[in-house]
Amino acid sequence: MKKLIGLFIVLLLILSGCLEIIQEEDSDEYRALSAQYDDFITHDVLNDEQFESFINTATFESVLSNVMIKSQFFNDLNSLVETRYGSGVIISKGVYYYVLTTSSLINSDQYDNATYQVTDYQGRITRADVDHGSTSYGLTVLRFQRTLDTHLPAIEFAEQMPLNGEPILEFGYKGKVVNAMTMGLMVEEYVDESTSYHYFYTTISSDEFANGSAIINLSNQLIGIQIDVIDGKSYAISIKEIIEFLQFYES
């Protein structure tokens, strides 16, 4: 009997400890910390002056690195079988411009031949070729000739991911509109257990035409590339994997 009473007392202590933890989530300290975080997101992360600067830079600089991609696939009789449209972003430039996009837009394994075209923000159409790609990462790099009359910027890379709840922006070929820009929030990162690759969810409304679109932070730096749409929202691979993918082919 004494053992049962002792066990009952231990259980009461454990339950009271759990209750204390739950109550702690509604404590003054917790509410103060939550309010401080919300204030940081709405004021320190993005005040009016910063927002104006962010939008101006995104509109007149960052979005100029966007291209629309048209992929056409042919059979052994050279008849057109399929056409895909999507987005890409210029990540570097030299003799060529190099465009990062998704493998799903470019992959031609089931066809005998394929051609690719990129259209820049001024509507100039240029033939592009595959430089390298990885179905594992789901990413491909196209290249197209740089000419004297084309001055397209390359997007900068972020060094870290935004905070959950932080405003972000996506630009690309969305809703069949070239250079469409849509803002949303960073939701959370997700690690695929089978590959250990990092992805992230957003609140950005999107569609399949925006696959390959760039997602940028408040410093107009690339944080990810849309690879899918989940429940109507953009789902992206993170900058960490993008850098790993690019470094693998540079080594």
Number of domains in the chain: 3
Please write down the HEC assignment for all residues of the chain: CHHHHHHHHHHHHHHHHHHHHHHHCCCHHHHHHHHHHHHHHHHHCCCHHHHHHHHHHHHHCHHHHEEEEEEEEECCCCCEEEEEEEEEEEEEECCEEEEEEEHHHHCCCCCCEEEEEEECCCCCEEEEEEEEEECCCCEEEEEEECCCCCCCCCCEECCCCCCCCCEEEEEEEECCEEEEEEEEEEEEEEECCCCCCEEEEEEEECCHHHCCCEEECCCCEEEEEEEEEECCEEEEEEHHHHHHHHHHHHC
168 plus 134 within the same structural domain: no
For residue 214, what pLDDT is reported?
98
Residue 56 lies in a domain: no
pLDDT of 5 strictly over 60: no
99 plus 180 within the same structural domain: no
At 180-205, the pLDDT tens digits run: 999 999 999 999 999 999 999 999 99
For residue 108, the domain's CATH number is: 2.40.10.10
pLDDT of 8 strictly over 90: no
Q: What is the mean pLDDT of residues 162-187?
A: 94
Q: What is the mean pLDDT of residues 142-163?
A: 94
At 215-224, the pLDDT tens digits run: 999 999 999 9
Range of the structural domain that residue 25 is part of: 2-44
For residue 16, what pLDDT is reported?
41
Residue 222 lies in a domain: yes
Whole-number mean pLDDT of the chain? 87
125 plus 180 within the same structural domain: no
Global confidence as pTM: 0.81
Q: Residue 251: pLDDT band by 50, 70, 90 thresholds?
A: low
pLDDT of 9 strictly over 50: no
For residue 39, what pLDDT is reported?
58
163 plus 246 within the same structural domain: yes
For residue 12, what pLDDT is reported?
40
212 plus 162 within the same structural domain: yes
Q: What is the mean pLDDT of residues 82-104?
A: 97
